[in-house]
Amino acid sequence: MPHARGFTIVEAVVASAIVITALASLTQLAVATRQATSAARARSTATLLAVDKMEELRSAPSLAPSPPDALDRDVDAFSDRIVGFTRRWWVQPLPWNPAGGLVVQVRVLAAHGVDARLVSVRAARAD
């Protein structure tokens, strides 16, 4: 009696299990990659928005002090919204030299827990 050609049911089930496991792993990898890419894009955009606002504040001729909690809540004249992002800024005189400069902080919040912060010290201009 000649030997039959082809796969047995057990071999087909094992091969199918291996293929399904590999596809499930690849799907999980694709989802994780997409989430990481989305978070990185949001973080990059938040950082660029923070830099943009910081440059705007640093070049302003004068800045009024902000409320102490301006980085934690929306305050008129110290926050704005830009398509999915909230920017908040905080301005206070230098504690050791109130007439000599300002501390400026910018915080940008977005979905996915993205929170970008920048801090700068602006020295008073000598006129």
Q: State residue 5's pLDDT score.
A: 74
Report yes or no on 53 lying in a domain.
yes
Report yes or no on 86 lying in a domain.
yes
Report yes or no on 3 lying in a domain.
no
C-alpha separations of 10 from 16, 18, 21, 36 in Å: 10, 12, 17, 39
- Does residue 99 carry a pLDDT above 90? no
Q: The domain containing residue 65 runs over which residues?
A: 9-123
Q: State residue 2's pLDDT score.
A: 57
Report yes or no on 4 lying in a domain.
no
pTM of the predicted model as reported, rounded to 2 decimal places: 0.74
Query: Angle 42-107-102 (CA atoms, 0-180°, nearest 5)?
Result: 150
pLDDT in tens, 37-83: 988 999 999 999 999 999 999 888 888 999 999 999 999 999 999 98
CATH code assigned at 53: 3.30.1300
Q: State residue 53's pLDDT score.
A: 95
